[in-house]
Amino acid sequence: MEEDINKSGIEFSPELQGRIAVTSIDRIYNWSRRNSIWPMMFGLACCAIEMICTAASRYDFSRFGMEVMRPSPRQADLMLVSGTVTKKMVPQIVRLYNQMAEPKYVIAMGSCASGGGPFKEGYNVVSGIDRFLPVDVYIPGCPPTPQALLNGLITLQKLIDRESISKTRWYSKAPSEPIPVPVLGPDLMDPRKYALIMEQTHKPEDETSSDTGAVA
Amino acid sequence: MDGLGILRGLWTTFKHFIDTYLEDITYRGKRYYTPEGIQRRSSSKGRGIFTVQYPEEKLPVPEEFRFIPILVYEEGPNGEKKQRCTSCGICAKVCPPQCIWIVRSNDPITGRPIPSPAQFYIDIDICMNCGLCAEFCPFDAIKMDHDYEIATTNRYKHNIYNIDKLSRPVSYYAKIRPKNYDHEEAIRAEKTSRKAGSSEAAG
Amino acid sequence: MTDSIGTEQTTDLAALYPKWAVIDDRTGYQGYLVQPSNLILFATAVRDDLGYDYLSSVTGVDYLPDGKMEVVYHVYKTIGGLPVVFKVQVPREQAVVPSLVSVYPGADFQEREAWDLLGIRFDAHPDLRRILLWEGFAGHPLRKDWHEPYYEEEGKPFKSRWPNGQVFRSEDKNSFQDNVQYPKGFSPEDWIPEAETALYGGIHKVQKANESSLKTDQMIVNFGPQHPSTHGVFRMAALLEGETIVDLKPVMGYLHRNHEKIGERNTYIQNIPFTDRLDYISSMSNNFGYVLAVEKLMGIKPPERADYLRVMMAELTRINSHIMTTGFLLNDLGAFFTPALYALEERELILDIFEAVAGSRMMCNYYRFGGVARDITDDVFKKVDELVNDRLPRKIDEFDAFLTGSEIVKTRCEGIGVLSAEQAVAYSTGGPILRASGIPYDVRRAEPYSIYDRFDFDVIMGSHGDVYDRYLIRIEEMRQSVRILKQVVKDFPQGPIFNGKPQYQVRVPAGEAYGRVEGPKGELGYYIVSNGKPNPWRYHVRAPSFINLTSLAKMCIGGKIADVVVILGSIDIVLGEVDR
């Protein structure tokens, strides 16, 4: 991949061949960023064990530059959401995402983080973290083997290669809006949907919105 | 002497460090990027560094490995596909998170069901790779695949597999699971020979 | 100890205490029915007069057709033997039961869970708050008339999947595009979040006479849920005086995945892959416990080769779990990652065997009712042989030499997190924690299951009850597991692995059963109530990590912050089990 940096299409004379490299800012910027992604030490459930195995010596991911796994969100580039996302945990996840410094990426590892997984029908499970965060790569599997996770990380690297400074959202003129943190009410409430909730719960009696039937 | 325990620990780590270089010298050049090298490093006699360098070296998966299901079809002589699946629905009934949807097709004239699926969906964002569908299929139609390199960037476009995305030829199945395939073919051959024998005796 | 203890029948308690207990005579049920007003007297008598000092499980069952809620208690003797099972029945609408925390302190978290999920109120409980869900959640989810937002049918298989299965995503059918539902007339703008006043109010500030002129204060600090050294999403709210812990309260439920509600909707065989995800590090043990409980109800036994395979996998899993725990305990101590990397190397070799036999590294889904799913081939058997006879003993000895004598480990682990024997039994701890405190209780010896009575192994016991003892016990237990494995490999029989043809619809007669195994973390039990239908009526998991956490506060108070992390590492929790 490093050779691609130098292919700019500009002709120059043979005696300068080995001595000058011409590249574009995009390519060198992307190359340096994709080879030093620092994941955040953030494991929720069983997929976290496979993530630990990927970080361990057999499927070492520090060969890809992800040497340093930082627990602090301020120092991390990548949030690997590994494991089932539950309603009780979602406010913390969104807060952590807001605290990460840009440029930041999210990988949904495993079927639980992608779309709820086998526990989708449960009452405390969110149907995928993309209900709240923008996800870049989805890795299916339950759990994805370490080689599958490495394949997903390579997919993320390819995605980063295709980015361009002029078009990425964190260099646009407007400041990035943080995602509003969900609130734990009688059920999980997304602040972006308050109007919808009001409309549904105040519908007239003949229309059934989902009723809890709770005996509390 | 105080500190002896720590020194003993450091000696163990040092030995692990030296072992890698000793192994490199013993196996000169054949230790990496060769199947025998990978085998040796993953066996109980392996010493020193243990890393399997994905994506250049892929650790081969064993035959029983299960990831996402596939539907097996028989290849006809003209390249036509004959699905083994009869849409009996057992896999949909036994799937623990209920991620299999099957549409059984009906004969257009009589309206009675015909043993072939019109559509077959699996939502892999729900699939838990348990293999119960493959275990209880009476027609050897649905089997577990070995392919794990299926990361995507958009799950709404890619992650519900329909019958075209799920189908694979029998030759592919025989390649990934040779022992299981041979075992099933033997059972099939025995059944057909028994049926032929009994029909001969009857007719 | 090489002989098993006490498998004789217990005395008839209805004859002994006629005013308090009546025999439960429903078909397939066992135990005694006790009136709520006599519960505490009965429990005290059973504990003090008859010697049943270990409360194993407290769970609630919702009998909607009868209009009753039932609370079921299982108590054991620490010298081993069969349990005494007693139950209390109260009306569903006004479910109030006296709390047994004064008799058995280990009932604390389990009663809070029954309140949270079933709405059974416990009188005189010291701290009755929700434990797995949050305060303010609408309803008690495990009740039979409470339906989740994605509710389709009472039991699987669902009719929408076949024969006309047009695929849909469940969130597309919900008006909010997610798994949520709100009560009628609810207004989100007016909702004031509870801000956890009950949690922080319950942490006791200690008034100290201030001798020095320096004015000090006590501070509440939250460890987690995202923290580099917790073993998953677990949170502790600690009150600190400087660096010393004054009080500590654990908060869990961040991984509550509704295992029991989903279990009631599943059929019996569909539950087996879900049990893999409880203690996700040792999935084979979880399968084992569930399969034993259902086989008790069905009254079947597996063939001999299957039994040997089960024991082989269970012991390999024990080694797997213990070596990983030891590696991560050292991680918590600060030896960032070297011992953990060596531990993970051995674990990878064992996972290779699981992958070759069961198909997956971690979620094995290997056991079935009446046998196991797949047979082991000769080359994999040879690999197991090599591991057990050559590599594992060598590596465990290396681990031992590397870590046990190290002065740093000794200074930081000896005398930390001490739990005395009486406290350990009272708090219903299990596994290495109980044995480190001096009680040699191991379910494989106390109530032998499968073929463990054929094998020669020791139950390892410590005497100090501190973190160092628990670490030593885990290393020794790995050696005992290798000893059992050597015997298994030597006597491995030929034969079928399953009697008859595997069925996907099993017939389970009505009744109740409690099946338990000695998992690596402690006693893992499954309580199943069946009413003859294809889906269980009640499915409860007695999770060792959850109940071991009752003793966490006791062990940490008085220590420093750095010790809390080490003590949590020595309790060895797995969040999949704690939160289910």
Q: Is the pLDDT of residue B167 over 60?
A: yes
C157 in contact with chain B, both atoms CB, cutoff 8 A: yes
Q: Does residue A44 sit in the same domain as residue A132?
A: yes
CATH number of C13-123: 3.30.460.80
**For a pLDDT cut of 70, what percent of chain C falls above it?**
96
Q: Does residue B39 sit in the same domain as residue B82?
A: no
**pLDDT at C75 (0 to 100):** 92
Q: Which residues of A touch C191 (CB under 8 A)?
A: 183, 185-186, 189
CB C107 within 8 A of CB C58: yes
**pLDDT at C212 (0 to 100):** 67
Q: Render pLDDT for A98-137 as a digit per residue (tens, 0 to 9).
A: 999 888 899 999 999 998 889 988 889 999 898 899 999 9
Least confident of B153-167, B189-203, C298-312: B189-203
The reply to whether A55 falls in a domain is: yes
Q: Does residue B25 sit in the same domain as residue B81?
A: no
Which 249-308 residues of chain C touch chain B by CB within 8 A?
Answer: 266-267, 269-274
Q: Is the pLDDT of residue C208 over 60?
A: yes
Mean pLDDT over A167-185 rounds to 83
Q: Render pLDDT for C163-174 as a digit per residue (tens, 0 to 9).
A: 887 888 888 888
Region(s) of chain C under CATH 3.30.460.80: 13-123
**pLDDT at C479 (0 to 100):** 93
Segments forming the whole domain that contains residue A19: 2-31
Q: Is the pLDDT of residue A5 over 60?
A: no
Which 354-373 residues of chain C touch chain A by CB within 8 A?
Answer: 361-363
Reported residue count of chain C is: 580
The answer to whether A123 contacts C141, with C-beta atoms less than 8 Å apart, is yes
Mean pLDDT over A60-72 rounds to 85
Mean pLDDT over B89-118 rounds to 87
C409 in contact with chain B, both atoms CB, cutoff 8 A: yes
Least confident of C47-51, C193-197, C423-427: C193-197
Cα C57–Cα C62–Cα C64 angle in degrees, nearest 5: 165
Average pLDDT of chain C is 88
Closest by Cβ to B98, choosing from C157, C345, C386: C157
Which SS3 state, helix, strand or coil, does residue C273 take?
Answer: helix
Closest by Cβ to A59, choosing from B52, B123, B124: B52
**Cα separation of C564 and C570, whole Å?**
10
Q: Does residue B132 sit in the same domain as residue B173?
A: yes
Reported residue count of chain A is: 216
**For a pLDDT cut of 70, what percent of chain A falls above it?**
87
Minimal CA–CA distance to B153: which of A101, C168, A163, A3?
A: A163
Give the distance, in angstroms, between the CA of residue C504 and the centroid of all CA atoms in the same chain. 27
> Using 50, 70 and 90 to split pLDDT, how confident is the model at C323?
very high
The answer to whether A111 contacts B152, with C-beta atoms less than 8 Å apart, is no
Q: Which residues of B touch C402 (CB under 8 A)?
A: 8-9, 12-13
> Using 50, 70 and 90 to split pLDDT, how confident is the model at A165?
confident
Nearest chain C Cα distance for residue B115, angstroms = 11
C169 in contact with chain B, both atoms CB, cutoff 8 A: yes
Q: Does residue A58 sit in the same domain as residue A148?
A: yes
**pLDDT at A212 (0 to 100):** 39
**Residue of chain A minimizing CA distance to B98:** A118
**pLDDT at B105 (0 to 100):** 84
Least confident of B96-105, C29-38, C219-228, C542-551: C219-228
> Using 50, 70 and 90 to split pLDDT, how confident is the model at C528?
very high
**Cα separation of B40 and C118, whole Å?**
54
Q: Which residues share a beta bridge with C244?
A: C241, C560
The answer to whether A88 contacts C345, with C-beta atoms less than 8 Å apart, is no
The answer to whether C349 contacts B128, with C-beta atoms less than 8 Å apart, is no
The answer to whether C136 contacts A57, with C-beta atoms less than 8 Å apart, is no
Closest by Cβ to A122, choosing from C183, C184, C257: C257
CB C149 within 8 A of CB C138: no
Fold observed for domain C259-579: Cytochrome-c3 Hydrogenase; chain B (1.10.645)
Could you report the predicted ipTM of this complex, rounded to two decimals? 0.90
Minimal CA–CA distance to C31: which of C50, C52, C10, C48?
A: C10
Q: Show which subunits contact A, needing at least 3 CB pairs below 8 angstroms.
A: B, C
Q: Show which subunits contact C, needing at least 3 CB pairs below 8 angstroms.
A: A, B
B160 in contact with chain A, both atoms CB, cutoff 8 A: no
Q: Does residue B86 sit in the same domain as residue B55?
A: no
Report which of residues C193 and C565 the model is more confident about. C565
A96 in contact with chain C, both atoms CB, cutoff 8 A: yes
The answer to whether B12 contacts C402, with C-beta atoms less than 8 Å apart, is yes
The reply to whether A165 falls in a domain is: no
Mean pLDDT over A162-177 rounds to 80
**pLDDT at C325 (0 to 100):** 92
CB C260 within 8 A of CB C277: no
Q: Does residue B12 sit in the same domain as residue B100?
A: no
Q: Render pLDDT for B27-74 as a digit per residue (tens, 0 to 9).
A: 777 777 788 777 777 777 778 778 888 888 888 889 899 999 999 998
Q: Does residue B76 sit in the same domain as residue B36?
A: no
A147 in contact with chain C, both atoms CB, cutoff 8 A: no
The answer to whether B148 contacts A142, with C-beta atoms less than 8 Å apart, is no
The answer to whether B96 contacts C273, with C-beta atoms less than 8 Å apart, is yes
Mean pLDDT over C532-542 rounds to 92
Q: Is the pLDDT of residue C314 over 90?
A: yes
Nearest chain C Cα distance for residue A98, angstroms = 14
Closest by Cβ to C358, choosing from B2, B64, B92: B64
B39 in contact with chain A, both atoms CB, cutoff 8 A: no
Which SS3 state, helix, strand or coil, does residue B151 take?
Answer: coil
Q: Does residue A54 sit in the same domain as residue A123?
A: yes
The answer to whether B128 contacts A154, with C-beta atoms less than 8 Å apart, is no
Query: In C5-98, at which residue ranges do the beta strands (DSSP E only) sit?
Result: 21-23, 32-34, 54-63, 68-76, 84-91, 96-98
Q: Is the pLDDT of residue C319 over 90?
A: yes
**For a pLDDT cut of 90, what percent of chain C falls above it?**
39
The answer to whether A140 contacts B127, with C-beta atoms less than 8 Å apart, is yes
Report, in angstroms and rounded to the nearest whole number, the Rg of chain B calculated over CA atoms.
Answer: 25
C187 in contact with chain A, both atoms CB, cutoff 8 A: yes
The reply to whether A208 falls in a domain is: no
Q: Render pLDDT for C78-102 as a digit per residue (tens, 0 to 9).
A: 888 888 899 999 998 888 999 999 9
The reply to whether B89 falls in a domain is: yes
b/e map of B24-59 (b: 16 or more CB within 10 Å)?
A: eeeeeeebbeeeebbebbbebebebbbbbebeebbb
Q: Does residue A17 sit in the same domain as residue A113?
A: no
Split into its structural domains, chain B has a count of 2
Q: Does residue B23 sit in the same domain as residue B73?
A: no
CATH of the domain at B142: 3.30.70.3270
Reported residue count of chain B is: 203
Region(s) of chain C under CATH 1.10.645.10: 259-579
The answer to whether A188 contacts C348, with C-beta atoms less than 8 Å apart, is no
**For a pLDDT cut of 90, what percent of chain A falls above it?**
27
A111 in contact with chain B, both atoms CB, cutoff 8 A: yes
**pLDDT at A211 (0 to 100):** 42
Q: Which residues of A touch B151 (CB under 8 A)?
A: 137-140, 148, 151-152, 155
Which 211-250 residues of chain C touch chain A by CB within 8 A?
Answer: 225-228, 232-233
Q: Does residue B82 sit in the same domain as residue B163?
A: yes
Q: Which residues of B touch A159 (CB under 8 A)?
A: 153
Segments forming the whole domain that contains residue B165: 69-193
B103 in contact with chain C, both atoms CB, cutoff 8 A: yes
Q: Does residue B27 sit in the same domain as residue B80?
A: no
B87 in contact with chain C, both atoms CB, cutoff 8 A: yes
> Using 50, 70 and 90 to split pLDDT, how confident is the model at B118?
confident
Q: Is the pLDDT of residue C228 over 80?
A: no
**pLDDT at C436 (0 to 100):** 92
Q: Render pLDDT for C133-165 as a digit per residue (tens, 0 to 9).
A: 988 888 899 999 898 888 888 888 888 888 887
**Residue of chain C minimizing CA distance to A43:** C232
Please report how many Cα atoms fall inside a 13 Å half-sphere around the Cα of residue C37, on the Cβ side.
1
Closest by Cβ to A116, choosing from B126, B149, B154: B126
**Cα separation of B167 and B73, whole Å?**
7
Q: Does residue A62 sit in the same domain as residue A105?
A: yes
**pLDDT at A208 (0 to 100):** 47
Least confident of A165-174, C46-55, C248-257: A165-174
Mean pLDDT over C471-494 rounds to 92
pTM of the model: 0.91
Q: Does residue A10 sit in the same domain as residue A102?
A: no
**pLDDT at C472 (0 to 100):** 93
**For a pLDDT cut of 90, what percent of chain B falls above it?**
21
The answer to whether B96 contacts C162, with C-beta atoms less than 8 Å apart, is no
Q: Does residue A6 sit in the same domain as residue A73?
A: no
Q: Is the pLDDT of residue C524 over 90?
A: yes
C143 in contact with chain A, both atoms CB, cutoff 8 A: yes
Q: Does residue A26 sit in the same domain as residue A133?
A: no
CATH of the domain at A94: 3.40.50.12280
Q: Does residue B41 sit in the same domain as residue B88?
A: no
The answer to whether B128 contacts A117, with C-beta atoms less than 8 Å apart, is yes
The reply to whether B199 falls in a domain is: no
The answer to whether A138 contacts B153, with C-beta atoms less than 8 Å apart, is yes
Q: Is the pLDDT of residue C537 over 90?
A: yes
C35 in contact with chain B, both atoms CB, cutoff 8 A: no
**Residue of chain B minimizing CA distance to A107:** B153
The reply to whether A167 falls in a domain is: no
Which 98-127 residues of chain A touch chain C by CB within 8 A?
Answer: 115-116, 118-127
Q: Is the pLDDT of residue C210 over 70?
A: no
Q: Render pLDDT for C382-404 as a digit per residue (tens, 0 to 9).
A: 989 988 998 899 999 988 888 88
b/e map of A176-207 (b: 16 or more CB within 10 Å)?
A: eeebebbbbbbbbbbeebbeebeebbeeeeee
B100 in contact with chain A, both atoms CB, cutoff 8 A: no
**pLDDT at C24 (0 to 100):** 84
**pLDDT at A171 (0 to 100):** 79
Q: Which residues of A touch C347 (CB under 8 A)?
A: 53
The answer to whether B12 contacts C167, with C-beta atoms less than 8 Å apart, is no
**pLDDT at A2 (0 to 100):** 46
Q: Does residue B174 sit in the same domain as residue B129?
A: yes
Closest by Cβ to C176, choosing from A41, A71, A196: A196
The reply to whether B200 falls in a domain is: no
**Residue of chain B minimizing CA distance to C384:** B44
Closest by Cβ to B90, choosing from C164, C271, C504: C504
Closest by Cβ to C365, choosing from B6, B12, B131: B131
Report which of residues C475 and C184 the model is more confident about. C475
The answer to whether B155 contacts A130, with C-beta atoms less than 8 Å apart, is yes
